[in-house]
Copies of this chain bind each other. A is one copy, B any other.
């Protein structure tokens, strides 16, 4: 035994003795080292490239001779000639171990390579996609072997790759004879794990597949459908695209869609057809953008809220619109991609994340998968702001979740000058506390409104309205500048000392931009706008508060703002507004589109799918709709900031003036400042 060469693999550190003459690939398999191979050791895929060490390895206690590995053989020489092999690299399937050796497996040769995921906190993710390519050479049929082509392919995959019990859908069975013959029996089988117990043949490709397999990560929202096309070898994003959910014509928000299903015979079916058509369009545009044929898109992951979940699966959502909000099904599902409108590889599956409850969706599950509160030592509050806010609070011990009906105000809807986030919309705003004068930035234009070059730059887009993040900053700034009091009332010009406060009916409005003089519309924050924002932020805060009660804490250790909108909210302004509980502003971070990130993680990793399925079973759902305490918190948090919690963290950062305005009366202390 000890005459056999010792081989040590880095960076894993796995080591063992193997018979002299064993190939590096065989040794890696023997020792459980993660070394990729698609061609099964034929020297054609080059996935098993390694870097042999030489000389003294004191750390490992071995000295590696110059001839520890066999010399370059004909297969390697040919590969090097045709494709080129980097200096110092060897093909693991060809190089044989002759004496003690140290072999480094570079990251790109690891099948389950770890990749860094860019998000608020960079995190490492291990690639473990559900569909993988396997190159095989199938024995041609003859008269003495009456087995079908599929049976011979399956047998080869079992013998050479240990894939037992392969299944195939009819559309793939219909292709295999032609592919096998065209490719002269040398093919790459794309084999998938569809959540069942037997592997499934997703497609069969002639020869050795040279291009990476791709998958779709889809965040299916009520308003927009966003998707990423992801390479399944290393998780990189090849294309990103989005489109309006075509269902929008059946109603702006979720409840209006549920109503449409209730009131119209076949209404749910119409909406199902509509959203599936949208998914199909998204898949096509992503494939076009990345220059990838749809057949190479072999997997998909969908995250969405419960209503979209039911509609895309063809289930009437009416039960989600009334207590007890029972979903038809809540577990993760694997369906045929074609069934939900995705015309990709013929047998591709789509994995739909589990929904947490009838009102907390697979999108929230994706946020949990992305942000992993269950791995946090201290309680973290995650808020995904949208028409419905999903709120998650948890730590290592337990995770709670609820949803809260914030309505569309945070998205700029039901706001007098509101609009969706699009070029021309005011997205950031500051008010000088001394003069009451605003300065702002619009989407698509770099300079602020008081900086040089603004007018020229803004000329192209115009100033068209105010979007969700803009209205939040506006209301918070108005509060900090003493233009709005704690109850949410806008003061008069006399009370606030700025002529931008103009009467409007029996209340006042604050004029941000007067189109008559400068061109463009009049953009103002009205008393109605403030009330709409107060309702929305109270709902959001009350949900978070309910979870904190349940959890038994007064404030979270940190807060994560998720969602495309969450990425644009200023933590300080959210705190001033009382949208979120008190927390040092530097501990409020944005996770970007965490639901979309979660979808990408699930696409790249079967382990992540298992993790979120397990985690969702452990999440405690908290019901807001019928909880009396939710109502209490909702009423109590109407003030700006809310009056429920003290704000020590905020206290050190901003000073909030405390005027008291009466709707029709005088201010207690009119401000004297002028510009």
Contacts and interface: CB of A to CB of B under 8 A. Distances in A.
Interface of A: 141-144, 146-151, 167-168, 170-171, 173-174, 176-178, 196-198, 313-316, 319, 323-331, 335, 339, 355-358, 360, 621, 623, 626
A261 to B, nearest CB: 12
A150 B329 contact: yes
B330 A177 contact: no
A329 B151 CA distance: 6
Copies of this protein in the assembly total: 2
Given A177-B316, A177-B319, A314-B174, A330 B148 contact: yes
B174 A313 contact: yes
A156 to B, nearest CB: 15
A194 to B, nearest CB: 11
A654 to B, nearest CB: 39
A198 B167 CA distance: 14
Given A313-B170, A315-B173, A356-B146, A326 B197 contact: no
Given A170-B313, A197-B198, A146 B358 contact: yes
A149 B327 CA distance: 6
A312 to B, nearest CB: 10
A219 to B, nearest CB: 21
Contacts of A146: 325, 327, 330, 356-358, 360, 621
A335 B170 contact: yes
A143 B324 contact: yes
A360 B324 CA distance: 57
Classify the interface of chain A: helix, strand, loop or mixed: loop
A602 B45 CA distance: 46
Given A143-B626, A170-B313, A173-B328, 5 more contacts: A147-B330, A148-B329, A148-B331, A149-B329, A174-B314
A400 to B, nearest CB: 12
A214 B326 CA distance: 32
B326 A174 contact: no
A20 to B, nearest CB: 41
Contacts of A330: 146-148, 150-151
Contacts of A143: 323-325, 623, 626
B198 A315 contact: no
A313 B647 CA distance: 68
A170 B338 CA distance: 12
A315 B141 contact: no
A66 B326 CA distance: 52
Contact of A315 (B144, B177, B621, B623): B177
Given A143-B623, A196-B197, A313 B149 contact: no
Nearest to A178: B316
B141 A326 contact: yes
26 contacts: A143-B623, A146-B330, A146-B360, A148-B326, A148-B328, A148-B329, A148-B330, A148-B331, A148-B355, A149-B326, A150-B329, A151-B330, A167-B196, A173-B313, A173-B329, A174-B313, A174-B315, A174-B316, A176-B328, A177-B315, A177-B319, A177-B326, A178-B316, A196-B196, A196-B197, A197-B197
Task: Report which residue of A143, A146, A316 has the largest number of chain B beta carbons within 10 angstroms of its beta carbon.
Answer: A146
Nearest to A330: B148
Contact of A196 (B178, B198, B356): B198
A177 B313 CA distance: 14
B324 A171 contact: no
A171 B197 CA distance: 22
Nearest 3 A/B pairs, CB to CB: A146-B357, A148-B330, A141-B326
Given A174-B313, A174-B314, A197-B197, A168 B329 contact: yes
A589 to B, nearest CB: 29
Contacts of A327: 146, 148-149
A4 B329 CA distance: 46
A335 to B, nearest CB: 6
A177 to B, nearest CB: 5
Nearest to A150: B329
A630 to B, nearest CB: 12
A177 B324 CA distance: 13
A621 B144 CA distance: 8
A228 B141 CA distance: 36
Contacts of A356: 146
Contacts of A196: 167, 196-198
A566 B521 CA distance: 89
Contacts of A324: 141-143
A399 to B, nearest CB: 14
A141 B326 CA distance: 6
A144 B623 CA distance: 8
Contact of A177 (B144, B197, B328, B623): B328
A151 B331 contact: yes
A197 B196 CA distance: 8
A598 to B, nearest CB: 19
Contacts of A174: 313-316, 328
A170 B314 contact: yes
A180 to B, nearest CB: 9
Contact of A328 (B144, B149, B360): B149
A144 B323 CA distance: 11
A357 B151 CA distance: 12
Find the residue from A314, A324, A329 having the highest chain B CB count within 10 A. Answer: A329
Nearest to A315: B174
Nearest to A340: B170
Contacts of A314: 170-171, 173-174
A324 B176 CA distance: 16
Which among A147, A151, A326, A356 has the greatest number of chain B C-beta atoms within 10 A?
Answer: A326
Contacts of A142: 324
A107 B633 CA distance: 66
Contacts of A313: 170, 173-174
